[in-house]
Structure 1
Amino acid sequence: MTVDRTPGRRLFRVVNAVVLAGVVLVTLYPFVNIVARSLSDEFAIRAGKVNLLPVGFTFHTYGFVASDPTFWTNYRNTVVYTVVATAIAMIMTTCYAYVLSKRHLKGRTFLIGVAVFTMFFSGGLIPNYVLISGLGMKDTIWAIVLPNAISVFNLLVMKTFFEGIPAELEEAAAIDGMSTYGILLRIVLPLSKAVIATMVLFYAVSFWNSWFPAFLYMTQSDLFPVTVYLRNLTAGATTGTSVGADATDMTVATNIKAVTMVLTVLPILTIYPFVQRYFVKGVMLGAVKG
């Protein structure tokens, strides 16, 4: 009898499957509930009748949100901020990680120490606000994309991955006359698709969900990302009257939050399946190589 067919092994698989199924159900429940609320009648939500399935099925609230020009302006801002911030973050993180992966680099330990230091210590909220204001970046995209351009965690994962690439490949390319940038662009990056896809996902999700920097540094509503729109909606700052709604539209005050949440998370859910295989592979490679 092989190990895989022993009673203990079969019991472990059954218990493992049950536990993981339970974790999946617990994880999915909040999102399914939000989707059900977004498609339900306002009175059914207030009565507490909505659980996993919509009650009083309606798309009225989706139409209500879609008719709000502020929502789409903030949604467009989120897309722009996320794309620009992710591109800048990937360029800076990749270059920094590639440099740190070279053990012969003079000052390498100091550069790693500088990066790691920022994981535990920061200037604080007020100094950061004074700095951003002093640099004239308030009410600009740069207040969103530059302060968080490098995540030290992502940096260390990429560094570890680059260290696992055989040095002989780069040495052979250097002998053939390829420059440092040529080696990075034509040798290293094509071999790093998994970790790059992982870092893109990490950064994109982080910037997409971020709201506090915009809430802090943006004073004009037409510059807000959709997460600040959602925050204001949840806090009661955005109501039906703010978009010219009549008394009938005010009845969507409860499930309009659910609709906004669904529309906000939808792009991430759409993209994730296409990068999932790279995500798992990249995290594992970055974790075990060194």
Structure 2
Amino acid sequence: MTIERGPTTSAAPRAVARRGNRAPWEEPPTTVGQAAKGLTLGTMLAVVVVPLWIIVVTSLSTPGAVNRAGGLVIWPDGLTLEPYREMLGDPTVRTSLLVSLGITLVGTLVSMAVSVLCAYGLSRPRSLGHRFLLFLLIVTMFVSGGLIPSFLVVTGLGGYDQWWALILPSAVSVFNILVLRSFYSSTSADLVDAARMDGAGEWRILWSVVLPTSRAVTAVIALFYAVGYWNSFFNVMLYMPTDSAKWPLQYVLLTFVNRGNGLPGSVNSGFGSTHAQTAPLSLQMAVVVLTLVPLLIVYPFVQKHFRAGVLTGAIKG
């Protein structure tokens, strides 16, 4: 007696293989959809990469190449390192680079210390007055005294032409505190209770329980603060516009571009320079590249935490 077998159903496994790791509710990709995604990603990549390419190439170009291009150089045509030698040989640029690094390091540490402590205190449900303090912080996001009252307060406290005026007026971001508070509030209550049963105080809980479980968001917020301090120049315009020895690199670049007659404090550089082998535009772009290099060095070490730090807590489940 033979047993007849029905037709083999191999279509289902093939469909599953075709779907791959896609969720059951997601439709299989189409050619038009894939092409649209590729075009969109390529356009976004070009928007980011092409300006960087033009800046770097222009910074390495000779005066003849800049003149032939009529400005910014798109394709290399006579490269030289003279703009970088002249830029780094200028004492104002070297000093401003050290000033920017110092302000970024100290400012980031101060901002992170204040933000972490404030966010942790507001995240504890039994802390004294945390709801009222949270309300006050949120109000400051929408209502502020304005520029003139801030200037009068800082100068009235003796901040004019002082280093701390470049850090403390912008040391705290309420938005960053709210993000940190959201993460700290979601810390496992069992871990906190277990630490308390072992005799840990609030400082120990923050250092040994909350911060290790919030490493991603801490790295992202630190990156936000560091980028803000590194790119800051407005406080310099307000509180120390005359002493070039205290200017950060971004303000030196701004002054250089606005004046159009050389780096601040230098004699034989930039426009009207006796260095005929350096184009003024190349020197400007070289300073721009110098401002970008530290961020390009630091970002890869923080990038692995960036996605988790931004998305975790925004999506539940």
Compute the TM-score of the two structures, normalised by the length of structure 1: 0.93
State the partner residue of 1:202: 224
Question: How far apart are the structure 2 equivalents of 1:82 and 1:233?
Answer: 21
Q: Secondary structure at the match of 1:147?
A: helix
Question: How far apart are the structure 1 equivalents of 2:206 and 2:69?
Answer: 57
In the alignment, which of 30, 33, 54 is matched to residue 33 of structure 1?
54
1:281 aligns with 2:269: no
Residue 61 of structure 2 contacts residue 79 of structure 2 at CA under 8 Å; is this kept in 1? Answer: yes
Matches within 5 A, 1:1-290: 1-2=15-16, 4=19, 8-48=29-69, 51-218=73-240, 219-236=242-259, 239=262, 242-245=265-268, 246-249=273-276, 251-288=278-315
State the partner residue of 2:5: none
User: Quick one: structure 1 residues 7 and 89, their matched pair in 2 at CA, closer, same or farther if it must change by over 3 Å?
Assistant: closer
Identify, as 1 or 2, the structure richer in helix.
1
User: Quick one: structure 1 residues 89 and 7, their matched pair in 2 at CA, closer, same or farther if it must change by over 3 Å?
Assistant: closer
Residue 66 of structure 2 contacts residue 73 of structure 2 at CA under 8 Å; is this kept in 1? Answer: no
One-letter code of the match for 2:127?
A: L
The CA deviation string for residues 37-83 of structure 1, in whole angstroms up to 9 with x for no partner, is 00111232233265443221111111110110110101100000000
Q: C-alpha displacement at 1:188, in angstroms? A: 1.0
One-letter code of the match for 1:189?
A: L
Question: How far apart are the structure 2 equivalents of 1:148 and 1:19?
Answer: 36
One-letter code of the match for 1:174?
A: R
- Among all aligned residue pairs of Structure 1 and Structure 2, give the percentage whose two residues are the same amino acid: 36
Residue 35 of structure 1 contacts residue 262 of structure 1 at CA under 8 Å; is this kept in 2? Answer: yes
Residue 119 of structure 2 contacts residue 184 of structure 2 at CA under 8 Å; is this kept in 1? Answer: yes
Residue 92 of structure 2 contacts residue 263 of structure 2 at CA under 8 Å; is this kept in 1? Answer: no
Q: Secondary structure at the match of 2:125?
A: coil
Count of aligned pairs between the two proteins:
290
Residue 82 of structure 2 contacts residue 277 of structure 2 at CA under 8 Å; is this kept in 1? Answer: no
One-letter code of the match for 2:19?
A: D
State the partner residue of 2:23: none
Q: Secondary structure at the match of 1:222?
A: helix
Q: C-alpha displacement at 1:252, in angstroms? A: 2.4
Compute the TM-score of the two structures, normalised by the length of structure 2: 0.86
Residue 160 of structure 1 contacts residue 287 of structure 1 at CA under 8 Å; is this kept in 2? Answer: no
Larger CA deviation: 222-231 vs 248-257 = 248-257
One-letter code of the match for 1:283?
A: V
Question: How far apart are the structure 1 equivalents of 2:233 and 2:263?
Answer: 22
Q: Secondary structure at the match of 1:137?
A: coil
Question: How far apart are the structure 1 equivalents of 2:162 and 2:316?
Answer: 40
One-letter code of the match for 2:299?
A: Y
Unaligned runs of 5+ in 1: none
RMSD (Å) for aligned C-alpha atoms: 2.1
The CA deviation string for residues 127-155 of structure 1, in whole angstroms up to 9 with x for no partner, is 11111111111222210111111111111
Residue 92 of structure 2 contacts residue 265 of structure 2 at CA under 8 Å; is this kept in 1? Answer: no
- Larger gyration radius, structure 1 or structure 2: 2
Residue 161 of structure 1 contacts residue 289 of structure 1 at CA under 8 Å; is this kept in 2? Answer: no
